[in-house]
Structure 1
Amino acid sequence: MESFKRIKQVLILILFLNLLVAFLKMFYGFYINSTSLIADGYHSFSDSSGNIIGLIGICFASKPEDEDHPYGHKKFETFASIFISVMLFVVSFDILKNAYARFLNPIEPRITIDSLLIMILTLTINVFVFIYEYKQGIKLKSDILISDSLHTKSDIFVSVSVLITLLALRFGITPYIDPVMSIFISIFIIRAGIKIIKHSSDILCDRIVVDSKKIHDIAVGIEGVLACHQIRSRGREDDINIDLHIMVAPDNDIKTAHDISTELEEKLKKEIPGVGKVLIHIEPYENNEFHIDK
């Protein structure tokens, strides 16, 4: 599919930028002995790993429907998002461990103009990556791009905190600010991981995707539909599945009822972006069960 091809291109570009940012942060972090800058570099490396996992997930998700997967493979993209969140938790633990060690044995980083310029440069790249990836995720309705952009958004806040740390140390504030900021960094990373898991679990646990009232209003707007109920929706924003029961006049023949159902299916797909499959159960209208909704 063209959308999956585009998602792969975006991930490859973001992967290159994240590797560049990670290398710069790690190099200068070790050079000036800054745990917060090193922690930020690890975070950027985790971004790169997330991009790789995303590429693997997209490769599986782009496979067409088959006999064993009649609904397709798109949820592999969602699984990839969960893997990214797990990686974030592991990185957070490592950062907290290093921050604790630095509390016990504080080392004041060597602050240079170069290190400050590196932070400003990497922060600028992260801002570009977040805006670009998030917009592409919305445009392509991609779980992996949106999740990864949330991860990058946390990078922006992290980089700002590291920049504040370096400036504070530059003006002679206690070296303990470095491990303290590392702890704040880990909190940002954990927060990003929780957001990704929540979004992914909503999809995997079939949380409602479309407001039932919207589906109801579309259904009863079709001539011949006297009422509808048992409305359900699930899936991803780019692959929505809807099923509902509609009630038609009991004296309708099969062809008329089928035509009503077909018209409703087409209208749902037209008016609700991302709808892929619609399952409609037809019932005879009974006055003593349901009121007329139109």
Structure 2
Amino acid sequence: MSVTSSPQSTSRPRGAGRAAQLALWTVGVALVVLGLKFVAYLMTGSVALYSDALESVVNVAAALAALIALRVAARPADQNHPYGHTKAEYFSAVAEGVLIVLAALSIGREAIGGLLSPRELDAPYAGLLVNLGAGLINALWATRLLRAGAELRSPALLADGRHLRADVLTSVGVLLGVAAAKLTGLTWLDPALALLVAVNILWSGFGLVRESVGGLMDTAVDPQTESQIRRIMREHGDGALEMHDLRTRHAGRLAFIEFHMVVPGEMSVQEAHTICDRLEDAIRAEMPDSSTTIHVEPQDKAKHHGVLVL
């Protein structure tokens, strides 16, 4: 006998509307930052500032991809998608990683050209101030996205937040490098720094793709969450003999949990079902965005491992 709890089957995932709203704001923030960074580049002619601005183009494209993915992920489960649409967020994160890699290659090409033909910078300090303003906006919004992404367990928002945080670190390095190039007169520092920026962005892009592909491959929940599930099984499994073969996976903000529960052979279906209901309610109370499937087995199926209730 199997009992399944699917609280998401008839409604939108919790926090879906808020995540989509944040994604929409991210598009606006990305456009403002892009404009400021290109103004800084035009004011200075710096290859490093150009690379920083080009990464902001990626930010806009990534924000749009996240917005579309979050709106798809917010749709409730239907006949063709009984497990919901939350995995759409991973496609957004993969797309963002690919865009970052492409931007890094483009920046690298520009930086190599600058190394071969270095040039003096024009009005660098005013341009650096404009770029600094853009960096501060990114830093504030990255913090907002990371907090919301962790709270809502949204891969798309977390990917955007991490990307913007990497962009902030890049901007700081660019500002210091361009200032150093102007103060020392070593014009090659500017394109050399742009090349370092490209390498950093490339690493960030590969990391995003790797993490998002893991989500698409149904990786298990993190060890802390699994320990939480096992604790709930121990505390609320009165009447059962043991629970084993715990398997988990996550799809966006949803966690899917399944395990086998061994009960005495003489226990009635109604009594076993009552234990299942108690376990599902306890799991849902601590993990609202979850779906639990419990397979009930008689005593002779006990494996004597896993969560031993008695």
What is the rounded CA distance, in whole Å, between the counterparts of 1:217 and 1:142 in structure 2? Answer: 25
Q: Aligned runs of 1:1-294 on 2, under 5 Å?
A: 1=12, 3-211=15-223, 212-221=226-235, 222-236=237-251, 238-275=253-290, 277-286=291-300, 289-290=303-304, 292-294=308-310
Q: Could you tell me the TM-score, scaled by structure 1's length?
A: 0.93
> Secondary structure at the residue paired with 1:231?
strand
Mark the CA change 1:60 to 1:272 in structure 2 (over 3 Å): closer, same or farther: closer
| Higher RCO structure, 1 or 2 (CA under 8 Å, sep 6+) | 2
Q: Aligned-pair distance for 1:10?
A: 1.4
The residue identity in structure 1 corresponding to 2:218 is: D
Partner Cα distance (1:54, 1:108) in 2: 39
Residue 132 to residue 220, structure 1, CA distance change in 2 (3 Å):
closer
Which deviates the most, 25-34 or 153-162? 25-34
2:158 is matched by which residue type in structure 1? Answer: I
CA distance in 1: counterparts of 2:288 and 2:206, whole angstroms: 27
Classify 1:96/1:210 alpha carbon distance in 2 versus 1 (closer, same or farther; 3 Å): closer
**Alpha-carbon distance in structure 1 between the residues aligned to 2:139 and 2:302:** 60
Task: Structure 2: give runs of 5+ residues left out of the alignment.
Answer: 1-11
Q: 1:271 to 1:9 in 2, by over 3 A?
A: closer
User: Is residue 43–residue 124 contact of structure 2 (8 Å, CA) maintained in 1?
Assistant: no
How far apart are residue 176 of structure 1 and its match? 1.0
Q: C-alpha separation between the residues in 2 aligned to 1:9 and 1:287?
A: 49
Return closer, same or farther for 1:190/1:55 CA change in 2, 3 Å cut-off.
Answer: same
| Change in CA separation of 1:152 and 1:140 when aligned onto 2, cut-off 3 Å | same
Report the count of equivalent residues.
293
Q: What RMSD, in angstroms, separates the aligned Cα atoms of the two structures?
A: 1.9
Task: Return closer, same or farther for 1:135/1:216 CA change in 2, 3 Å cut-off.
Answer: closer
What percentage of aligned pairs have identical amino acids? Answer: 26
Are the equivalent residues in 2 in contact too, given 1:244–1:280 (CA < 8 A)? yes
Q: Output the CA distance in 2 between the equivalents of 1:273 and 1:65.
A: 16
CA–CA distance in structure 1, aligned partners of residues 120 and 67 of structure 2 = 39
List runs of 5+ in structure 1 lacking aligned partners: none
Report the CA distance shift for 1:210/1:273 in structure 2 as closer, same or farther (over 3 A).
farther
Counterpart of 2:24 in structure 1: which amino acid? I
Cα gap change, 1:263/1:108 in structure 2, threshold over 3 Å: closer, same or farther? same
Q: Distance in 2 between matches of 1:13 and 1:88?
A: 20
